[in-house]
Structure 1
């Protein structure tokens, strides 16, 4: 039975090879992309580079733009070291065929190399569900171990170990997972196995010492650390760890010597200097706070709380590089709490390193999903970069936690506008304004949306609210003026402009605007009055002179119109409109009308004579 099964698989492989080489087997009606997709299984099983390359060429020949073709192109880009191109092609492949497990898995491996652990874990999980590749398990073990999920790390590393029994990374990961799960015997066994594979491995030696210490086996821990120090005598870390173990064992004199070798002054009272640092921070004397915290750490180097405070003091003082070094050291030491990662995100933002900032913020949320600050920064950066779908997701989560914050609703509404989802944007704006009715930007932006949705009555209300909050808001006033003019609501238009004028009666521009309104209503006497008041305040205003001349002309006061238009032309020779109106006035004088009448009579007589001649002929 085994032989028949093997033969059957061999037959399928030969069939796939023949197909990829161009032999159709008479299946002219079959979908070439579907057959190319099926041939990927044979491609994965193929051995020998030449054979595999021929199969890849066959797939590209029959279906270059399908899921299978994109997958093969991604493989080739990856082999050429073009990781970004490979990532893009793998994404295209899974977009066309989400069931393509190997594309998901390979994409996850590349994303992990770029430090995008969260996205990588999603792709690797999809990959391992469809194709239990040990590489995917190993990568997931690393992600879960770093994400403080030891049980999942243990599962994936154990699955990978079957294929890679001598992989030092896997044994180190298993040891750490067992240690986090407090299974110290199994952790020690994995560290022992790691030391067999890499006898001089410092991580394994220190890790094994740490396991013995946690298990209460202090003699064994001290023995491992002495072995480490014998090979790394200048490393203060080994001396410090040995001093801690000796202190726990009660051997204070020996511990003191090791502390001195580690560069730690045991005469310092760390608690006292930490308190002094807190006092200086409260006084905003950041330089002295930094010095106090650094002194405290000389007496207790692994005091994570004081390291955190030191980083905060360095950030406050603007010493960003020092703060990054402090927080990074904390992370390397295993302190991966949300607060530390959030601060590293802020520091990365300050440096303009947005990819790194996003990674730290995501890490902070993995540690503490309720971290509103990290989620808000994620939302804002995503908005800046045009990743509106992700930004909307983050704002929706913020609203779920803090739905009483009007800014979250306002920003989500803005995101929906960018996504052209105006129907979804309106309720968010309305909720933001319910929570904060004084938001001018909220009223203004909602009014614009309502105008786009052909809802002028509702838009008018929000423009009026803007004017109520800020009577000098030009955009809202102009929008209302346009609305009233279109709807021929001249009384509201007049009242709006008069109220604006009453706020600054010595503003020539406002008198001029009110004059235009009266002129539009054909109330010329009122228009004359407002234009004149404007010109009293600013006599050389060419547009004011022109407007008064135009109003005179409309009311039949020709000589006064000519006078104002001439003055407007003189005030601004580049202003063309006064000259045009003056030309029309000259053409419309009695003399011009008389000459025009004579020309018309002459033309009429000429036409009559021509008709008579034609009739005689």
Structure 2
């Protein structure tokens, strides 16, 4: 683009030189000027051919017109050579022109450009700066200087020089586009957008400005702003299929499906052989539940390109949705012939086989997936689950251990590793891993509760009581934990304490009627037979058909959450519905169906399920958290804030609610409110003060309050000295404050403490800091 502009200016300049030369020829044709030369010493007239005065012998100087014509002749020759890439020869001609007219600005300008092409940077800058002095009204010298600074890697100088050029020619849209592009490359997004907007204000039909501005806004997720500029670009260049395709994607994201279809059809007309365009059109049809039209487009895409990856993946999903899993497998196998090492194809095949119950086939594909990406902890984790389903306990343990090695701070991975150890009979190892999970996420009551259960199985009742009490500190309303604590106390012979825990459990959840039997046994052991008989009768009064209903309902809800965790929302929905058939007001099952709808990104349906759950349990804060997340996913952050505030009001002692409210406020753009929430939580929960101070600092950093952020990080480190994340964030804040030594020390400490998978990113940040210090 820049070369085309230079070439165009050369053509304009040569036309002007030819016009000037013609004028000079007309003047030279007049005898009074062109055929006579006046002697500057004696004033005698001499013929043009003479070199010395005929009267006094003085050396005669050529007339102004002759000198000017010779200068322009050399200038024109130099421009011709420059345009043909013969830069060294053009330098000679430009110097000849300047020897005859040292104030010829164009000669200085293109002499500088020629020096730049031959990498004689010192001479180039000198000539270009001279051109700036001589050509007082032209922006071209500044554009040449901008090229010089760009070639010598001085971006800030390029920017200032382009601004100087625009001071002389503010309506030059091409220069504004160049400046905008440079701003965008440097990450100064707002400045880039401003320059593109100014270019469009001067030239509304400037193609590059409209297209690039649309691309930048789209990449920034400012879709409504991007669409008009891309529409204008399509009008200015209706033969560009890529712009039409991008515009269609934006329409689809805004659910303007008719416009998206029209734009994609235009793109397909322009490039009928591009299979990816038909795959995009199929996605638009799928979004409108027009699966038959989507299937037609995907079929045509695969006819154009049998190995088209996206079309194969989409068609397989479509076929499975309509119950044709065999054809879906065939399509993916066909795609695998063209992409034998494609991770996504192997993964989708593995999941499809799992849903169809073909665990052996699923296992082979997930083993291949792990080979393709051996550094992914999540993939090893998925493989471990398949091994566990196959009852390959040892392989399951190995896969989960690998996931933990790759991501040692993920408590869920350690929890599943503990489960694998438990299934293989290695209960001490299971306790060890679950203890680590509990330390990583000390607010998760289920970890302490599971530890208590394992200790009970091991006969370690004192440890079981300790962990179960810890669980109840975190979740005092957990009836199951109270019941398990009662069992542990009963095993220790502490009958009265055990009975008290059973009664608390039954008060919290009367449906745990099996505890009546346990309580009856404790009464009998203590010799309190009348109370034992009463408890037996209560147990017998609840047993029967309801026993099957309740047990099956709990089993289905647990199974549904397992399927959902295993990324199988279809099966999860089936079992949650089965639970509802036994209890239509089961809030857990309704909550599970809402989470299924969220996994499918059907937020309207998710809200409907959640409304029913809230009717059953209106004060369930977990339901309100999910409701707030739905609102947030739809971009309604104000509603999400209101819901989280209600949940926190009902449960002010839950730290996770404070954290979630702060995060929602931050996403709603209410940074100071988020800071206030985190700071208040730090005061309310002293044992988690460092964590909430860290969260406070992260919000302050986003506000560009670097001094306040660094103070929060340092305050957090007074309590917790081994969290690498706080050191890394402190390093960034210090760097922004130009406190380079403190920043380097913080990054060094973060590198000492960080897990292996975080080290490359931290080293890169530390290297950038070192380069700035250098």
TM-score tier, shorter chain, comes to 0.3 to 0.5
TM-score, length of structure 1 as denominator length? 0.43
**Bigger relative contact order, structure 1 or 2 (CA pairs below 8 A, ≥6 apart):** 1
Q: TM-score scaled to structure 2, two decimals? A: 0.35
Q: Which structure: larger Rg?
A: 1
